[in-house]
């Protein structure tokens, strides 16, 4: 690693010396190529990712009945607010109530029978102890008491079961929420949600809308920037003046492709205390990726790979013509070029009348500027040309972003 860094440093020094010792007509200010210089500047970079999404409830529950039967009472309508335990529907209770009352009567009989059998057993026990009855008679009395007690247990269980069936005819809200949909009407016969092979009849859908999800499709070129817990702003089409605050909680692992555009679903949790956001609303999402203040930064066009820096230098200085005249010089420069090409990212900075390649460490990047973490000073001037590959790459990036935003805007318009 140290040898590689030494080679790169040597290459930079050698090229710099060559710039100062080359013929006057090859100097930068006399080059026929149009070169731009721009000072490294201090400023702020705010990187945001925008997308469109749909509002989706977090806690959405389908309400079904455990019992089958005819709906006798249905006091709800769509958009009604309900509280936990509030009545949603009541089924016809005539059969279940009759069965419950019959079970109560059977329980009373069973209790009376146990009382009578217990009294008979006590009498038989006294007679048996005095030797007035046989052991068989005593055993029969004991068996009758046990059977009566067993019948009492069965009667109690029957009462409990019929009580449950009676309560199952009343459907109550399991949560505080709002009625999103109502799919049945009073007088309709519904099937049980636990005994029917079809899953039972859906009565209503309830959701708590105090906090909601906004599920947005983010282009694959931006998905790598997004992490859970990043803050987000949400603006619904229905409330353009209202900004809702949320955070990223989930990023889909599987992409989806629409009209040859690959995107990933990002889920943002948004506070909705006034319940203005409704299920299914369209919304614009802005995710804050980075917010850097008072940092060094340079235009994106100035940043190049080592290979691009070599190409730029050869074009500006017409190095290829000089190399052909001197084979040894060619070999030396090729060796230095190979070392320069190992640079991951760098810039060309003004050094007197020449240019010097510098390796840099970068941070966040916006559409126009890139943060410089290491490698440059505020007084440095970076150079780039009209034919810069970095500039071309930046322009292609901008164009792709514009096409994506236009396409997403079109999709939203079609959905409205």
Q: Are 325 and 403 found together in one domain?
A: yes
Listed residues 291, 318, 348: the one ending a domain: 291
Q: If you write DSSP's letter for every residue of 164-200 in order, what string do you get?
A: HHHHHTEEE-SSSEEEEEE---TT-EE--TTT-TT--
Q: Residue for token digits 């090229």?
A: 15
Q: Are 64 and 182 in contact (CB under 8 A)?
A: no
State pTM to two decimals.
Answer: 0.65
- Predicted pLDDT of residue 319: 45
User: Is residue 413 assigned to a domain?
Assistant: no
The rounded distance, in Å, linking the Cα atoms of 135 and 147 is: 18
Residue range of the domain that includes 235 = 50-58+208-291
Residue 409, pLDDT score: 52
What pLDDT does 323 receive? 42
For 288, residues 6+ apart whose C-beta sits below 8 A from its C-beta are: 46, 47, 48, 230, 231, 232, 233
Is 412 within the bounds of a domain? no
Which of 157, 144, 148 shows the shortest CA–CA distance to 114? Answer: 148
Instruction: Copy the structure tokens of residue 33.
Output: 């190529």
| Residue 54's CATH number | 2.40.30.170
Answer yes or no: are the C-beta atoms of 206 and 180 closer than 8 Å. yes
Residue 376 covered by a domain: yes
For residue 188, what are its two tokens?
């309709």
Asked if 39 and 142 sit in the same domain, the reply is: no
Q: 133 in a domain, yes or no?
A: yes
Do 79 and 140 lie in one domain? The reply is yes
Q: Is residue 415 part of a domain?
A: no
Nearest residue to 246 via CA among 227, 266, 229, 226: 229
Do 153 and 285 belong together in one domain?
A: no
Q: Which of 205, 231, 247 is the last residue of a domain?
A: 205
Q: Is residue 36 part of a domain?
A: yes
* Residue 278 and residue 332 in one domain: no
- 183 lies in some domain: yes
Residue 399 has which token pair? 């164009």
pLDDT at res. 16: 46
Question: Are 65 and 168 within 8 A, CB to CB?
Answer: yes
Q: Are residues 262 and 143 in the same domain?
A: no
DSSP secondary structure of 205-260: EEEEEEEEEEEEEEEHHHHTT--TT-EEEEEETT-TT--EEEEEEEE-SS-EEETT
Task: Report the CATH number at residue 94.
Answer: 2.40.50.100
Residue 79 lies in a domain: yes
What is the domain count for the chain? 3
Co-location of 278 and 334 in the same domain: no
Q: Kindly give, in sequence order, each residue whose CB lies less than 8 Å from that of residue 152, ignoring residues fewer than 6 positions away.
A: 107, 110, 111, 113, 114
Packed helices 389-415 and 306-317: angle between N→C axes, nearest 10 degrees: 120
Quick one: tokens of 177? Answer: 């929420």
Please tell me whether residues 306 and 197 are part of one structural domain.
Answer: no
Residues 340, 354 within the same domain:
yes
Task: Tell me the two tokens of residue 67.
Answer: 């019992």
Distance CA 20, CA 341 (A): 22
Nearest C-alpha neighbor of 340 from the set 3, 9, 75, 1: 9
CATH number for 388: 2.40.420.20
Of 38, 41, 19, give the one whose Cα is nearest residue 30.
19
> Which stretches of the chain score pLDDT less than 70?
1-34, 196, 316-337, 341, 386-416
Q: Which of 287, 285, 292, 293 is nearest to 230 (CA)?
A: 287
Same domain membership, residue 177 and residue 93: yes
What phi, psi does 329 have (nearest 5°)? -60, -40
Q: Are residues 268 and 301 in the same domain?
A: no
Whether residue 312 is found in the same domain as residue 338: yes
| Residue that is last in its domain, among 291, 306, 333 | 291
**The residue to which tokens 């997403």 are assigned:** 408
């Amino acid at each position: 690693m140290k040898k590689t860094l030494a080679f790169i440093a040597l290459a930079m020094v050698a090229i710099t010396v060559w710039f100062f010792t080359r013929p006057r007509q090859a100097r930068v200010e006399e080059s026929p190529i149009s070169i731009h210089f721009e000072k490294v500047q201090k400023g702020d970079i705010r990187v945001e990712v925008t997308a469109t999404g749909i509002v989706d409830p977090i806690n959405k529950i389908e309400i079904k009945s455990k019992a089958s039967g005819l709906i006798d009472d249905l006091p709800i309508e769509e958009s009604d607010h309900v509280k936990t335990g509030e009545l949603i529907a009541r089924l016809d209770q005539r059969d279940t109530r009759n069965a419950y009352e019959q079970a109560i009567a059977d329980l009373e009989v069973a209790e009376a029978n146990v009382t009578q059998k217990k009294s008979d057993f006590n009498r038989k026990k006294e007679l048996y102890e005095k030797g007035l009855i046989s052991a068989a008679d005593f055993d029969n009395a004991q068996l009758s008491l046990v059977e009566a007690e067993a019948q009492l247990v069965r009667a109690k269980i029957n009462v409990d079961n019929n009580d449950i069936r009676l309560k199952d005819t009343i459907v109550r809200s399991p949560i505080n929420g709002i009625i999103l949909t109502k799919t049945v009407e009073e007088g309709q016969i519904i099937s049980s949600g636990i005994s029917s092979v079809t899953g039972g009849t859906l009565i209503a859908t309830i959701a708590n809308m105090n906090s909601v999800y906004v599920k947005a499709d983010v282009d694959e070129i931006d998905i790598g920037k997004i992490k859970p817990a990043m803050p987000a702003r949400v603006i619904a089409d229905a409330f353009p003046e209202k900004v809702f605050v949320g955070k990223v909680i989930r990023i889909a692992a599987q992409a989806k492709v629409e009209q040859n555009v690959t995107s990933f679903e990002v889920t943002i949790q948004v506070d909705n205390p006034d319940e203005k956001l409704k299920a299914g609303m369209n919304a614009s999402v802005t995710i804050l990726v980075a917010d850097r203040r008072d940092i060094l930064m340079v235009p994106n066009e100035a940043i190049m790979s080592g290979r691009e820096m070599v190409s730029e230098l050869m074009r500006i200085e017409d190095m290829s013509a000089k190399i052909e005249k001197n084979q040894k010089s060619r070999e030396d420069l090729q060796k230095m070029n190979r070392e320069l090409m190992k640079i991951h990212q760098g810039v060309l900075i003004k050094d007197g009348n020449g240019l010097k390649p510098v390796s840099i460490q970068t941070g966040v990047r916006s559409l126009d500027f890139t943060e410089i973490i290491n490698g440059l000073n505020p007084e440095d001037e970076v150079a780039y040309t009209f034919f810069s590959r970095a500039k071309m790459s930046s322009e292609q990036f901008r164009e792709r972003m514009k096409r994506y935003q236009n396409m997403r805007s079109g999709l939203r318009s079609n959905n409205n």
